[in-house]
Structure 1
């Protein structure tokens, strides 16, 4: 059902609430002020409420003014967050004397309860109370009490599990304003930890989603199933229109009061309604909090057009190359020249030397004959700040590559890094913008279109095949070592660009995706991220969305998914890993293909490089193998928390054609035609290929995974063998037959070669020809399923744009 909403928000009145709180030196709203905010948000009307300040005398008339026979009284204090745990929430009879008694009792008992809780476990103490004990603690808690809030009692339709909703906004450092919604109540955090991903809580960027799209995500949660009466014994308690109106209102407020909005007067740091209960089709907020801040000055923008100079330089400068030994600078020089970059276009900064390896040397930057496109800095970290100042002063280069570490990775080097960033930010504020900087702690860049390699890895350690054609892809990694190991382990990936970002002292992951989304020679962008700079997560996701809309594919892996992982990434490249769920949600929402493991990342990257031109129309899989366990294993692998594939139903014509093939190969009595299809170990190369071809042309099949049975005596799978019947070089062997068939197919065809190292040449031959193969069937199905689901999601984004 299509749901329409019309949200009208009184932003002036909401801003006045923030201004009034600010005038009182507060950066938060009291609960009743949050209700006032909601009443002006265009969403559901909150319950009536009256603040009873501490020490105030309230008339019987005022105490009787609430509708109903009961009222709720709640403690009001900026330091008491979990009111229920300290007796700060009570339902009482609507009788003036009963209300006064309950208020007096609460004002005395709540501070005592809170003080006891802190004494038993100091972690419960608000920042203001840390280190306080005894009477000093109790006095401080009582001092901060503002009074009691009397709220209209609106009993929920049901107290059953799942009938409360949490909705919140949170201003994140990396992604700006995030909206989240899901199972509410006191156990929200427990639900989020214990339920499968996306079942308890969903989150999204306010900048990248609207109310309708967020509601579509929310429909998949247990919370929606309960609220909509879709579970046994439940009835609907809220309409879809109400939910969408609520989400739309929060999204609009999130956009208005966001750190990414340059016109924002205030920034909502956190606003949460937990829970909304439901009374006679009314959404009733039972508790609310809101913290806000003033917007901060934004840094100067980087001249990212100069990334082109970095990746396609005409003149390269290098400092740090040794005359006698193979230090990092000398290895970088060797690799630059080995890629074919002309010696006369490389300048070395080295005083007292005329040339190194035929490359001319100059004593300093001032002596250079012309401005550099790229300047590679491979000296000790302590020398970098002065050198950067000199580059900026002389306007000596359009881009600078900072190889050295020790620029923010440790506590001792943070001041050095901060001074460096301040100098870079200052030059970016000038008319020309100065140079762009990549690094520090950068392993280098390999740019095949730019004919250079500045990795400091000797070719003896990482041999290169310069005869192969590079894919129309770019690999951008915050960890140089991650990129290095993928390159060594998976040479079949072979992207045109490999960019090590390091600490993101200047250029960021978002900047690089912005550049590559517009690059005519790149169709696939793969990203390994450990952390984002302030608001760069949002910039990154916006660029990913633009790349997807331009028809490109983006593969993404985020490190730091656990507290231990976050700590490790911070120590490695001086980045702070953000909340993984938020990151994954935003990046996936933008249209990227999100990998869950390193292996999955390289698998998805391999598929993206080779399948970008294939048609993806659905998620119906045909699974074929001559090994029975493998056929069953493919079927067992089609579903997980992250994807839902289905086995295709073969058309009658396909069934008949397969039957003829089996009959001609004398396999009819051994094979039952269904999906998955076990074609028997006796099936030869031609049988595998022809059946894969039939299924790839079946209109009910969207992709084919085929096991290539390397140990079968009927298959040509061995290299350098004296037995012609086993030789993978045979003209009628599986490699030429399936390669031709897969290349001509409009749909994805993926192979599985489940065998030992003896079959590595067979795998290499297929991967080199553009037919992805995997060592085990479940890995093949998982990668293909994630890839297909992401491609279908990207198509949805393009259609709705």
Structure 2
């Protein structure tokens, strides 16, 4: 693309504004910025300072018969509402008259607006009213901008475009585009997801890739002339060029760019209109800031010491009672960790557990791989200082709460974090970087490869996960209780690693994602997040993208979608739940499977574990059930705002084979061949299995969902029964028939068993055979659809050529 962004002249605009004490550009400066961005040419304009008489030559220098006049003020954003925009005949008399009128009337109208909406008043006007308020507004007026009048080709709905950059705390620079105009917020709220506005991380997209997102919006369909009575008013190439210029500016004036002279906080053109295939900005705003200090890097290679320690120390083990420290010690020993490599920091000799005790960190002969801190929060900062001074550990697990979760503890936590960062800063000069810290306010880690469990939950209250085969899955959660609840209900999940992050005092979600993307023994990475630290959302998304490119599957659930949810998450682990729309959009674009609920999070993990090696070639589904409502329910569930499947068309061979098996069971008069296939409650397990086998063999089918009808009188679905015809271990039962069919096919096969607790043994048995079983059909379809779409999108990401450098 032949596009040149003139970064230094743009920086000079910021530099001049900053010298005047401003952190924003006036509208005419925004137009100048656009002219330097390499994309669209902005309209010609003339700035008329307050108290200056505009020269006739200036007024008449702009093309056209009309002039657009706009008030220029650092405090007035929505100019139209206060009479700050006027269109007049382009004559010296009319322009001068309109300028005088605007300078007189705008302070009055803006003051009236502020008195109606005092909470929206700029800080400098708070507490003012009447003449004092009007005088303050008038004093801030800089003048009037005369802009070339360029009438749009169409004034109908959808022919205005908003394009913007925004710096976000968690994800850095985000580009967005969509339906523009005064009702942009309304469109975003009322249209289906992704139809009004789309967004992406500038560091993980380019003009072409972002255009492909934008192509799906209502805005594009209008601009491209794809709706009734509409003609195209802009080319795709112009849109791509515009998006590319914004993305390049975003990446240059970014907090992630160490050489950025300034940071764009917000740059928005709302709207662009279109005149004779020109993109015409009608209004623009830009805020900027100076770059801040960059946080030091962390020695995240030491996460390996945390997850696979050769030596573990623990402080907080009581010699007199069974406190949290004692329970953690018991769980570590019960997990198989060699007690010879354990040490307790406590006065006295050998503990009753047989683990040796040392009175102080100074008694250690070499640094511990993992040091677990299970003492009161008020004692932790001093201990952290000693750990850093003595280089006593390579990784530290901070169990206590009360380190940053409450207003009273934030200063203490901030001082501790500053000390940790001081140690990390030595990395820049070739040093070791000090230890890494997990927590605080966390339950720590269960590492089956590392043979240890730091959770403070008594073994009697936890299922024995060791009876299940270890899965190639890592589950990372900001909430320890979330992990505990999921694991208690579903011990068969049995991941290799369960990591509770706590409040991310040091190690972050992005750090953990980067570690597990490199872990050879992991195929699935599942993450429950409440909020990211500064720019860690970007680092997390980059690591997700790289993990997907390495054929790993990432399942993600973000809490804090609503204002109430955001407030709740920021209260309990000192996290900040950020803009959910940005988070959801960016993590999905990075390649993660986005769960919409906690239940769906579990479902997607199950599918990812089961089908990690399955080939996903498309989205054509075949569905079968003996229950009519279930067959209809599957068909009703293939589309939503988040996903879309199609019902595959059977090949002639498949249709013939299905007719044959249906006729062989005497069901031909009851069962027409269709998709979904309602095979009637009289269909035996053999019919279910054979139909699934036929469908899986069809090249026109990419996945099969089968309803197993456990309540039918002819199916084998019970474990505890005296009736042989119902026994689930019968040779002709579904448990014996379906697993071999699933194993011989490389396509996803998902079962639905809509029945009570009596059928739970069969559900578990099928899951152990690699067949995911869902309790209701719509839940099965939704999870499978999200899974398949994500896998297909991941294949496309492997071939993306735009930059995605890990920080």
TM category, shorter:
over 0.9
Task: Please list the CA deviations of residues 118-171 of structure 1 after superposition, one character each: whole Å capped at 9, or x if unmatched.
Answer: 112202201221222222222221111111100001111111111100000001
SS in 1 for 2:604: helix
* Residue 76 (structure 1) aligned with residue 72 (structure 2): yes
Given that 2:53 and 2:96 are in contact with CA atoms closer than 8 Å, whether structure 1 keeps it comes out as: no
* Residue 540 (structure 1) aligned with residue 536 (structure 2): no
Between the aligned partners of 1:326 and 1:754, the Cα distance in structure 2 is: 44
Shift of 1:34: 0.4
Q: Which residue of 2 aligns with 1:491?
A: 491
Given that 1:83 and 1:89 are in contact with CA atoms closer than 8 Å, whether structure 2 keeps it comes out as: yes
Between the aligned partners of 2:713 and 2:360, the Cα distance in structure 1 is: 68
Q: Which residue of 2 aligns with 1:767?
A: 767
| Aligned pairs, number | 797
Q: Which residue of 2 aligns with 1:213?
A: 209
SS in 2 for 1:71: strand
* Residue 294 (structure 1) aligned with residue 294 (structure 2): no
Shift of 1:353: 4.8
Q: Which residue of 1 aligns with 2:654?
A: 654
Shift of 1:326: 2.2
Q: Which residue of 2 aligns with 1:503?
A: 503
Shift of 1:354: 3.0
Between the aligned partners of 1:114 and 1:692, the Cα distance in structure 2 is: 69
SS in 2 for 1:270: strand
SS in 2 for 1:75: strand
SS in 1 for 2:491: coil
Spell out the pairing of 1:369-384 with structure 2 (5 A cutoff): 369-384=365-380
Greater displacement, 502-511 / 487-496: 487-496
* Residue 261 (structure 1) aligned with residue 246 (structure 2): no
Spell out the pairing of 1:551-570 with structure 2 (5 A cutoff): 551-570=551-570
Q: Which residue of 1 aligns with 2:450?
A: 450
SS in 2 for 1:799: coil
Partner residue of 1:232 out of 185, 208, 228: 228
Shift of 1:369: 3.4
* Residue 194 (structure 1) aligned with residue 190 (structure 2): yes
Between the aligned partners of 1:493 and 1:104, the Cα distance in structure 2 is: 73
Given that 1:272 and 1:290 are in contact with CA atoms closer than 8 Å, whether structure 2 keeps it comes out as: yes
Given that 1:492 and 1:767 are in contact with CA atoms closer than 8 Å, whether structure 2 keeps it comes out as: no
Between the aligned partners of 2:214 and 2:648, the Cα distance in structure 1 is: 29
Q: Which residue of 2 aligns with 1:117?
A: 113
Given that 2:548 and 2:591 are in contact with CA atoms closer than 8 Å, whether structure 1 keeps it comes out as: yes
Spell out the pairing of 1:617-696 with structure 2 (5 A cutoff): 617-696=617-696
Task: Please list the CA deviations of residues 222-279 of structure 1 after superposition, one character each: whole Å capped at 9, or x if unmatched.
Answer: 1111111111121111111111110011001111110111111111000000000111
SS in 1 for 2:624: strand
Given that 1:478 and 1:501 are in contact with CA atoms closer than 8 Å, whether structure 2 keeps it comes out as: yes
Q: Which residue of 2 aligns with 1:273?
A: 269
* Residue 29 (structure 1) aligned with residue 25 (structure 2): yes
Q: Which residue of 1 aligns with 2:805?
A: none
Given that 1:377 and 1:402 are in contact with CA atoms closer than 8 Å, whether structure 2 keeps it comes out as: yes
Shift of 1:356: 3.3
Runs of at least 4 residues off by over 4 Å: none
Between the aligned partners of 1:281 and 1:230, the Cα distance in structure 2 is: 16
Given that 1:117 and 1:124 are in contact with CA atoms closer than 8 Å, whether structure 2 keeps it comes out as: no
* Residue 180 (structure 1) aligned with residue 146 (structure 2): no
Shift of 1:716: 0.7
Between the aligned partners of 2:667 and 2:333, the Cα distance in structure 1 is: 58
Between the aligned partners of 2:491 and 2:31, the Cα distance in structure 1 is: 59
Between the aligned partners of 1:315 and 1:476, the Cα distance in structure 2 is: 23
Q: Which residue of 2 aligns with 1:462?
A: 462
SS in 2 for 1:669: coil
Shift of 1:739: 1.6
Q: Which residue of 1 aligns with 2:355?
A: 359
Greater displacement, 662-671 / 598-607: 662-671
Given that 2:463 and 2:491 are in contact with CA atoms closer than 8 Å, whether structure 1 keeps it comes out as: no
Task: Please list the CA deviations of residues 39-73 of structure 1 after superposition, one character each: whole Å capped at 9, or x if unmatched.
Answer: 11111100001111111122111111111110100
Q: Which residue of 2 aligns with 1:700?
A: 700
Shift of 1:599: 0.8
Q: Which residue of 2 aligns with 1:60?
A: 56
Between the aligned partners of 1:111 and 1:708, the Cα distance in structure 2 is: 72
Q: Which residue of 2 aligns with 1:398?
A: 394
Q: Which residue of 2 aligns with 1:98?
A: 94
Shift of 1:756: 0.8
Between the aligned partners of 2:302 and 2:482, the Cα distance in structure 1 is: 26
Q: TM-score, normalised by structure 1?
A: 0.99
SS in 1 for 2:493: coil
Given that 1:743 and 1:771 are in contact with CA atoms closer than 8 Å, whether structure 2 keeps it comes out as: no
Q: Which residue of 2 aligns with 1:748?
A: 748
* Residue 723 (structure 1) aligned with residue 719 (structure 2): no
Shift of 1:736: 2.0
Q: Which residue of 1 aligns with 2:134?
A: 138
SS in 2 for 1:91: strand
Between the aligned partners of 2:640 and 2:463, the Cα distance in structure 1 is: 38
Partner residue of 1:321 out of 308, 317, 321: 317
Q: Which residue of 1 aligns with 2:804?
A: none
| Structure 1 portions without partners, runs of 5+ | none
* Residue 310 (structure 1) aligned with residue 306 (structure 2): yes
SS in 2 for 1:355: coil
| Structure 2 portions without partners, runs of 5+ | 802-807
Between the aligned partners of 2:651 and 2:320, the Cα distance in structure 1 is: 70
SS in 2 for 1:568: helix
Spell out the pairing of 1:311-350 with structure 2 (5 A cutoff): 311-350=307-346
Given that 1:493 and 1:609 are in contact with CA atoms closer than 8 Å, whether structure 2 keeps it comes out as: no
Partner residue of 2:218 out of 215, 222, 230: 222
Q: Which residue of 1 aligns with 2:522?
A: 522
Greater displacement, 230-239 / 635-644: 230-239
Greater displacement, 361-370 / 26-35: 361-370
Given that 2:465 and 2:494 are in contact with CA atoms closer than 8 Å, whether structure 1 keeps it comes out as: no
Q: Which residue of 2 aligns with 1:156?
A: 152
Q: Which residue of 2 aligns with 1:44?
A: 40
Task: Please list the CA deviations of residues 172-202 of structure 1 after superposition, one character each: whole Å capped at 9, or x if unmatched.
Answer: 1111100000000011011111111101100
SS in 2 for 1:460: helix
Between the aligned partners of 1:234 and 1:198, the Cα distance in structure 2 is: 21
Given that 1:306 and 1:398 are in contact with CA atoms closer than 8 Å, whether structure 2 keeps it comes out as: yes
SS in 2 for 1:317: strand
Between the aligned partners of 1:7 and 1:249, the Cα distance in structure 2 is: 7
Between the aligned partners of 2:273 and 2:587, the Cα distance in structure 1 is: 31
Q: TM-score, normalised by structure 2?
A: 0.98
Between the aligned partners of 2:477 and 2:790, the Cα distance in structure 1 is: 21
Greater displacement, 432-441 / 346-355: 346-355
Shift of 1:640: 0.3
Task: Please list the CA deviations of residues 505-545 of structure 1 after superposition, one character each: whole Å capped at 9, or x if unmatched.
Answer: 10000000100001000011001010000100000000001
Between the aligned partners of 2:688 and 2:517, the Cα distance in structure 1 is: 39
SS in 1 for 2:133: helix
Between the aligned partners of 1:309 and 1:356, the Cα distance in structure 2 is: 27
SS in 2 for 1:475: strand
